[in-house]
C-alpha cells in the first residue's frame, strides 16, 4: 500500500472568525529525505492562537501562510527514517512541521523529547512552547515578588495554567480568570490557584476586585477585551503587564467598532501608575529554555506542576478544533493526535 502525506492547507483567508471552508485537507506524495535530512511522522500537532495571525495577510512578526500552503505548527513526531548523523529512527522529537502527517527536516527545528519525564504530548504544552512562554514572560517581565498578587487571564489554558503555578512557586498570590464554572473549579482545585474569577459572571468586575484586596502587581495578559477593562483599575503603582496575547481580538478584522475609545484611559493609567506593559515572544528568551525544561521536569516529578490536555483525534478534525480554540471551547492545552498508532 502506497503511503501518502496528508496535510491541511489554507484554502482562503478568513474574514473575522475562520470557517471550515478556509481549510482544505489534501493528499500528497510522501516526502523523501535527502542527505542530512530526516523523515518525520507526526504523532501530535499543537494548536495555538498565534496561528490565526498567520492566516491573515496583515503585517505581523512572521510571514503569512500562502494560500494553498500547509498550516504551520509545532508537532511531536517520530523519526521514521534518518539520513542525518544526529538522529536515529524511532527518536521522538519536537518539530515545527505543521498540520500534516509527514514532513522532512534538516534537523534545525528538532529538539529531543525524553519519554521518561512525562507523556510525549507535553513537549507541545507544559514542557514545550506554551510552558516556556509562561516562564519567560513571568520571570523576565512580570518579576513577581513574594506576597505580590499575580492575575492570570485564560488561567485554565496552556500558558495561563503554568503562569499561575510558577507564580505560586515564586511565593506570589495567584488569581486566575477563566470562563465558566468547570474551568474555574479546575483552576482552583487542581492547579491550586489562590482564587479564581469567572469572566462570564454578571458581577465579574466586583468579584475580581474582591479577589484582589491588595490590588494587582502583575497581570499576565492573554485575552484583552472586557477582561483588560476589569483589570486596569486594579493595577497597582509599578505594576508589570507581560503582554502575551489578545485572543479576544484575534478575529477582529479592523479597528473594533465601539462607541468609546478605550486607548486614552489605558494610556492615562499606565502613565499615572508608572505601569510597564511589555509585549514579548518566547524566542527572545530562548537561551533560558534549557533552564526552564530542567526546572519544569523537577516540578513535574515532585507533583508541584500540573497540566491538562484537550486531545482531539485525527488531522481532519484540526480545523474545527482550532475554530473552537479561538472561542475558548477547549479545556487545557489543545493537541491533535495525528498518528493513532502511538
Residues that bind its own copies (CB under 8 A): 53, 60-61, 221, 224, 228, 237, 243-246, 249, 252, 255-281, 284
Least distance from its own copies to the Cβ atom of residue 273, Å = 6
Residue placing its CB nearer to its own copies in the complex, 25 or 277: 277
Please enumerate in sequence order all residues whose Cβ is within 8 A of that of 197, keeping only pairs 6 or more positions apart, or say none: 175, 176, 177, 178, 184, 204, 207, 208, 211
Least distance from its own copies to the Cβ atom of residue 133, Å = 12
Residue placing its CB nearer to its own copies in the complex, 258 or 294: 258
d(CA 56, CA 12): 9
Least distance from its own copies to the Cβ atom of residue 103, Å = 26
Least distance from its own copies to the Cβ atom of residue 83, Å = 36
Cα separation values, 138 from 115, 199, 259, 279, 330, Å: 27, 22, 34, 12, 23
Enter the C-alpha cell of residue 331: 479545556
CB 40 within 8 A of CB 97: yes
Residue placing its CB nearer to its own copies in the complex, 113 or 231: 231
Residue placing its CB nearer to its own copies in the complex, 58 or 320: 58
d(CA 139, CA 117): 23
Least distance from its own copies to the Cβ atom of residue 306, Å = 27
d(CA 111, CA 139): 23
Q: Whose CA is closest to 151, among 181, 174, 131, 167?
A: 174
Residue placing its CB nearer to its own copies in the complex, 97 or 248: 248
Amino acid at each position: 500500500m502506497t503511503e501518502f502525506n496528508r496535510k491541511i492547507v489554507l484554502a482562503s483567508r478568513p474574514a473575522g472568525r475562520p470557517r471550515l471552508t478556509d481549510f482544505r485537507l489534501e493528499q500528497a506524495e510522501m516526502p523523501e529525505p535527502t542527505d542530512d535530512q530526516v523523515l518525520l511522522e507526526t504523532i501530535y500537532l499543537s494548536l495555538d492562537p498565534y496561528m490565526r495571525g498567520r492566516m491573515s495577510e496583515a503585517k505581523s512578526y512572521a510571514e503569512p501562510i500562502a494560500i494553498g500552503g500547509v498550516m504551520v505548527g509545532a508537532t511531536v513526531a517520530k523519526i521514521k527514517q534518518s539520513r542525518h548523523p544526529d538522529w536515529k529512527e524511532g527518536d521522538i522529537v519536537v518539530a515545527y512541521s505543521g498540520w500534516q502527517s509527514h514532513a522532512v527536516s534538516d534537523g534545525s527545528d528538532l529538539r529531543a523529547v525524553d519519554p521518561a519525564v512525562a507523556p510525549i504530548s507535553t513537549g507541545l504544552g507544559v514542557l514545550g512552547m506554551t510552558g516556556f512562554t509562561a516562564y519567560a514572560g513571568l520571570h523576565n517581565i512580570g518579576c513577581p515578588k513574594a506576597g505580590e498578587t499575580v492575575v492570570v487571564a485564560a488561567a485554565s489554558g496552556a500558558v495561563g495554567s503554568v503562569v499561575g503555578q510558577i507564580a505560586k512557586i515564586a511565593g506570589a498570590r495567584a488569581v486566575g480568570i477563566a470562563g465558566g464554572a468547570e474551568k474555574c473549579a479546575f483552576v482552583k482545585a487542581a492547579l491550586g490557584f489562590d482564587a479564581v474569577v469567572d469572566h462570564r459572571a454578571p458581577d465579574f468586575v466586583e468579584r475580581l476586585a474582591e479577589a484582589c484586596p491588595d490590588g494587582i502587581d502583575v497581570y499576565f495578559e492573554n485575552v484583552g477585551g472586557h477582561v483588560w477593562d476589569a483589570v486596569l483599575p486594579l493595577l497597582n503603582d509599578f505594576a508589570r503587564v507581560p503582554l502575551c496575547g489578545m485572543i479576544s481580538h484575534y478575529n477582529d478584522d479592523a479597528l473594533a467598532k465601539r462607541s468609546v475609545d478605550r486607548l486614552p484611559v489605558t494610556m492615562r493609567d499606565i502613565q499615572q501608575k508608572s505601569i510597564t506593559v511589555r509585549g514579548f515572544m518566547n524566542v527572545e528568551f530562548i537561551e533560558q529554555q534549557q533552564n526552564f525544561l530542567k526546572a519544569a521536569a523537577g516540578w513535574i516529578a515532585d507533583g508541584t506542576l500540573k497540566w491538562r490536555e484537550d486531545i482531539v483525534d485525527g488531522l481532519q478534525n484540526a480545523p474545527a478544533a482550532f475554530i473552537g480554540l479561538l472561542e475558548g471551547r477547549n479545556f487545557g492545552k489543545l493537541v491533535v493526535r495525528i498518528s493513532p498508532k502511538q
